[in-house]
Chain A
Amino acid sequence: MSEGNRVLGDGTAAASGRAGPLDHSYVQVRSTRPLTLPDVDVKARAGETAAELSGVQRRRKRVNAIMLGFASVSSLLAIIPLVAIALFVLVQGVNSLSLDFFTHAESDVDAFGIPLGIGNTIAGTVLIVLVACLVGLPIGLFSGIYLAEYGRGRFADVVRFLADVVAGIPSIIAGLVGYALIVIPFGFSAIAGGISLALLMFPVVTRATEEVLRLVPLSLREGGLALGVPRWKVIASIVVPTAANGIVTSMLLGVARVTGETAPLLFTAFTHPYWEWNPTHPVSALTVTIFNYVNDPDPTKHKMAFAGALVLVAFVVGLNLVARLVFRRRLAGRT
């Protein structure tokens, strides 16, 4: 094949004076139409590969470096506030913690009428969250099982959609509804607060449970059924335990979230300065107390608010760590 037949439009062959390609006897070569548009000639490109870049290429490199650099430090913009908040809570709270803090209720006041401790609020929070768990977790778990194992068709779609709707309600609305439906007829109580929190807790558990159960391979279910195990037992003893990790994770995260909630408790659980174990009575919650004390002019109350904040954050963060690390889930990036 002669050189004239091989056209690239940029004169490589002519410029370097190299011989044409080897003769092939068994392949037919048809001529192709040349690309006639102007282009950077290959020698210049050879130079670019060897690090003498033209202006356009230098700009591309620069933009790339800047944007990727920005991306790399962007995570700091998230981590810095996290660290700042953690340090703030730690520093402010540590000084104010004492044994009295835990062992006294708000009803135990000193000579100036200032509470000696807010142990009752911690107990109150425990009570409220307990109610929320008793109500919300079974709803979440079993509705999730329904969606994964039995749910087909319209009704299941409706359930899913409504679970998503309820998942998205602002926490204050949950509190308002609890107020309207429970407090107005029955008065303030831990149960009212607990139910409001349950509203915030169960939808996430529902969706997470369904997702995790769907991941359990069909072969596991079929194996159980083939052995003659009744379907409900296959689900309860084989499928759910296999998915237990994911389910427990979502439950722990749900508990962590509602423990930190304030708005729904403002007018459901109300406040109550005494140790209280009866859920039908109003109780003080830690979060609401922190809010009230911060708004109070008394500096001692401020200190107690910070101590409370430290206890709250320690619990919530601790629960999050347990949920995410111990019950491992896949996170971050591509595999």
Chain B
Amino acid sequence: MTANTSDAPARMSIPQDTVAISIQNLNAYYGPKLAVKNVSMDIVRHSVTALIGPSGCGKSTVLRCLNRMHEVIPGAHATGTVQLEGTDIYGPSVDPVQVRRRIGMLFQRPNPFPTMSIFDNVVAGLKLNGRYSRAQLAPIVEQTLRQVALWDEVKDTLGKSAADLSGGQQQRLCLARCIAVKPEVILMDEPCSALDPIATLRIEELIRELEANYTIVIVTHNMQQAGRVADRTAFFMLNDDGTGGLVEYGTTEQIFTAPRDRRTEEYVTGRFG
């Protein structure tokens, strides 16, 4: 365990062979403005890592840097290294399109494609990468929908528009869409904030189930949620210079019961945030 110095983020050490994503010196910009400064942390494979912190501290920005979605915004870019299983996704000849095949994303508001049926939504990502017949796709659709516990609810209406589903169902559909391409990592940007409590719990159940096969990084405003689903938690905060940064990173248990940084302690005990 590294001792805490007031300017370096307190972190645990993680065995290198369990690391799926290694972030080193990540800086994210919106145009000329530096939004996130010098983030370094390792994400453990097949576990759930939560990014928590007050609004605007850059956790979503960091998340979006992990699948190179940050640069989709005009003028936005990032520097530093993000290694996915040893390969730097920000390397000079790396195609972001290929990165996003390996790292999937679930968004805050469910965004199924309204012009496609439920069936076509699930296989939307697959169809980008090859021609498959209906016969090949149908089993995948069934299995992924079963995995997200949606199959029984929609198995008779696969041809209908995804727009007719409830919010929770739509989010599970998006999750099915995400895992149908078999990514290694799933990023989730506050996936439950637009959902009711019951739908939220179902998603959290799914996260714990999926953990066995996927590495999951989840941004959440809800500390209780982090406590329920995450193995490890990283706490972010805005610095005095207006940039966001990593304050402390440790096991969820340690962050919430024995935080080493004073700022972490203040946040998790609710003194601000």
Contacts and interface: CB of A to CB of B under 8 A. Distances in A.
B44 A27 contact: no
Interface residues of B, number: 43
Interface in B117-159: 128-130, 136, 139-140, 143-144, 146-147
B160 interface: no
A8 to B, nearest CB: 6
Interface stretch (B21-29, B57-65, B81-89, B104-112): B81-89
A27 B128 CA distance: 35
Given A32-B209, A50-B87, A56 B102 contact: no
Contact of A32 (B47, B89, B184, B212): B212
B94 A29 contact: no
Given A21-B45, A56-B129, A30 B208 contact: yes
Interface stretch (A38-46, A91-99, A202-210): A38-46
Contact of A51 (B93, B140, B210): B93
A48 B129 CA distance: 13
A42 B17 contact: no
Contacts of B48: 27
A56 B130 CA distance: 7
Interface string B90-115: 01011101110110000000000000
Given A29-B209, A35-B182, A21 B94 contact: no
Given A22-B44, A53-B95, A32 B18 contact: no
In which size bucket is the chain A interface? 35 or more
B97 A50 contact: no
Contacts, number: 100
A45 B128 contact: no
A32 B210 contact: yes
Contacts of A32: 147, 209-210, 212-213
Which of the listed residues A31, A37, A49, A57 has the most CB atoms from chain B within 10 Å of its own CB?
Answer: A49
A56 B97 CA distance: 13
A24 B228 CA distance: 12
B231 interface: yes
B253 A21 contact: no
Contact of B231 (A24, A48, A61): A24
23 contacts: A5-B212, A6-B46, A21-B211, A22-B44, A24-B47, A27-B48, A27-B231, A32-B147, A32-B213, A33-B147, A35-B144, A35-B182, A37-B140, A39-B182, A46-B85, A48-B95, A49-B84, A49-B94, A49-B99, A51-B94, A56-B130, A57-B95, A60-B97
